[in-house]
């Protein structure tokens, strides 16, 4: 994708304030200038076009250890920002009459219906209230469908489905990937690309990275001593994060966290969702009513984030900002509308849009820091981006 074709001549042409956009870029650049991060990439979009994209700092590629300048063509592991993209593909299934979220998963995937999982619905899986957040799944089994089905059969519940929320870092979206394949007869990666990404005009956002593109991907690195994952993120270990530097792992396209792309691609993906389903390419990926339906909060007040204890506010595979004073904890900063929705990623990747203003934002970095620094950065950049509309 040539970013230039989607770049506005000037931000004001698409109703974005140039000075406020500069503040977004300055905040992203600050972390690189002061040595907090090695690189950062950020983009803001509106009305189907990019107001601007900037990349700062240096990256390493393919384990070589050599520092090279990061550019707007640099690709990053977007981790759980991937969930919204695969989620949009499941919305498309629903729009086409191929899936009802009330269906029991075991009726679609018989192998799944064991060990108390018989009654779990597709909706519960999409909301992370299905009860199997720590279901084991070795990376060696990821791209072997027979082993995938064997794993589904062996999984046991951690708690009764529907009774609580706990983040299913990868397990839930492997189930969604299998549902896509059962209902379409297509490899889930191909379906996501052909049904969502290409029509949306973001063909350089990859679920399953082609081998020849590894030289453009920034190697993930820990810039502070890695700490154990917080409650509900048990699979997101330091070792699991670094595994995404391996070409064979990037090639799998892990549906819950293996996407590869950039800040501009994330911002443009969300433009398709915030503009009634019409992507920057002019093609429609979803009906407006499908997006409206899919982004309504479905979790209950008692579905709360472990440890921090605030309502999770989840729609179908995405998070909604909400009006309860906790939007900054959900990754949206403090200034967007309650209707804003999206999904962040490990390490502080940002991807969301706001239906009230039409603003969308993407942010990527390859550097992992502690949760406090990461949270402050997300809040600052999201807050600044949300205020860019004229």
pLDDT number for residue 228: 61
Last residue of a domain, one of 163, 189, 215: 189
Tell me the whole-structure pTM to 2 decimals.
0.95
* 93 shares a domain with 55: no
Say what the pLDDT of residue 232 is.
45
Examine residue 67 and state whether it is found in any structural domain, yes or no: yes
Residue 100 is predicted with a pLDDT of 98
Q: Which of 147, 165, 189 is the last residue in one of the domains?
A: 189
Indicate left, alpha or beta for 28 from its phi (over 0: left) and psi (-120 to 50: alpha): alpha
Look at residue 215 and give its three-state secondary structure. Answer: helix
Compute the distance between CA of residue 312 and CA of residue 318 in angstroms, rounded to an integer.
10
Domain membership of residue 200 (yes or no) is no
pLDDT band at 138 (very low <50, low <70, confident <90, very high): confident
Q: What is the pLDDT of residues 22-32, one digit of tens each?
A: 999 999 999 99
- pLDDT number for residue 120: 98
CATH number at residue 61: 3.40.710.10
Query: Which residue in this structure is represented by tokens 């027979």?
Result: 146
- Please indicate, yes or no, whether residues 247 and 366 belong to a single structural domain of this protein: yes
Is the model's pLDDT at 353 over the cut of 90? Answer: yes
Domain stops at, among 189, 223, 239: 189
Q: Which helix (H) or strand (E) holds 294?
A: helix 288-294
Residue 199 domain-assigned? Answer: no
Q: Is 184 in the same domain as 250?
A: no
**Cβ distance 281 to 106 under 8 Å?**
no
373 and 259 in a single domain? The answer is yes
Q: What is the pLDDT of residue 230?
A: 55
pLDDT confidence band for 136 (50 / 70 / 90): confident
Q: How many domains does the chain have?
A: 2
Do residue 293 and residue 244 come from a single domain?
yes
How far out from the chain centre does Cα 79 lie? 6
Q: Are residues 14 and 97 in the same domain?
A: no
pLDDT tens figures, 279-300: 887 899 999 999 999 999 999 9
Residues 225 and 365 in one domain: yes
Residue 145 sits in a domain whose CATH number is: 1.20.58
Domain extent for 55: 3-82+205-386
**Domain for residue 143, yes or no?**
yes
Residues 182 and 241 in one domain: no
The answer as to whether 248 is a domain residue is yes
pLDDT band at 3 (very low <50, low <70, confident <90, very high): confident
Q: Taking 50 as the threshold, does the pLDDT of residue 157 lie above it? A: yes
Q: How far apart are CA 382 and CA 388, in angstroms?
A: 10
* Percentage of the chain exceeding pLDDT 90: 86
Could you tell me if residue 96 is inside a domain?
A: yes
Q: What is the mean pLDDT of residues 214-240?
A: 77
Mean pLDDT of 218-240: 73
Lowest-confidence segment of 73-82, 185-194, 233-242, 258-267 by average pLDDT:
233-242
Do residues 226 and 325 share a domain?
A: yes
Does a structural domain hold residue 198?
no
Instruction: Specify the pLDDT at position 281.
Output: 78
* Contacts (Cβ under 8 Å, ≥6 apart) of 336: 321, 327, 352, 354, 356, 357, 359, 382, 383, 386
**CA atoms 12, 15, 20, 25: torsion sign:** negative
Span 287-333, pLDDT tens digits: 999 999 999 999 999 999 998 999 999 999 999 999 999 999 999 99
Q: What is the mean pLDDT of the chain?
A: 94
385 and 321 in contact (C-beta within 8 Å)?
no
**Do residues 164 and 231 share a domain?**
no
49 and 182 share a domain?
A: no
């Amino acid at each position: 994708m040539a970013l230039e074709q989607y770049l506005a001549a000037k931000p004001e042409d698409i109703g974005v304030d140039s000075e406020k956009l500069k503040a977004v870029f300055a905040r992203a650049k600050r972390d690189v200038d002061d040595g907090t991060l090695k690189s950062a990439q950020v983009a803001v979009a509106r009305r189907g076009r990019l107001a601007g994209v900037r990349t700062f700092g240096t990256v390493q590629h393919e384990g070589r250890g050599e520092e090279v300048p990061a550019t707007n063509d640099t690709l990053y592991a977007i981790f759980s920002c991937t969930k919204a993209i695969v989620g949009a593909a499941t919305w498309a299934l629903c729009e086409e009459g191929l899936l009802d979220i009330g269906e029991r998963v075991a009726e679609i995937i018989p192998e799944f219906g064991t060990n108390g999982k018989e009654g779990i619905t597709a909706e519960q899986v999409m909301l992370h209230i299905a009860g199997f957040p720590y279901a084991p799944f070795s990376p060696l089994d990821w791209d072997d469908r027979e082993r995938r089905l064997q794993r589904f059969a062996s999984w046991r519940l951690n708690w009764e489905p529907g009774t609580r929320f706990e983040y299913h870092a990868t397990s839930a979206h492997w189930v969604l990937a299998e549902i896509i394949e059962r209902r379409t007869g297509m490899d889930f990666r191909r379906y996501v690309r052909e049904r969502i990404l290409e029509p949306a005009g973001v063909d350089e956002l990859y679920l399953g990275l082609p081998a020849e593109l590894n030289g453009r991907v920034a190697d993930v690195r820990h810039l502070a001593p890695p700490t154990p994952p917080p409650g509900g993120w048990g699979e997101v270990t330091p070792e699991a994060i670094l595994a995404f530097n391996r070409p064979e792992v990037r090639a799998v396209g892990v549906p819950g966290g293996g996407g590869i792309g950039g800040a501009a691609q994330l911002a443009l993906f969300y433009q398709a969702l915030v503009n009634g389903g019409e992507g920057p390419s002019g093609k429609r990926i979803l009906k407006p009513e499908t997006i409206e339906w899919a982004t309504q909060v479905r979790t209950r007040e008692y579905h709360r984030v472990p440890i921090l204890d605030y309502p999770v506010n989840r729609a179908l595979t995405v998070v909604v900002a909400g009006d309860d004073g906790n939007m900054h904890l959900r990754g949206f900063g403090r200034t967007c509308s309650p209707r804003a929705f999206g999904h962040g990623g490990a390490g502080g990747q940002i991807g969301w849009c706001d239906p009230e203003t039409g603003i969308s934002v993407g942010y990527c970095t390859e550097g992992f820091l502690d949760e406090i620094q990461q949270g402050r950065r997300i809040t600052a950049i999201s807050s600044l981006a949300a205020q860019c509309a004229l």
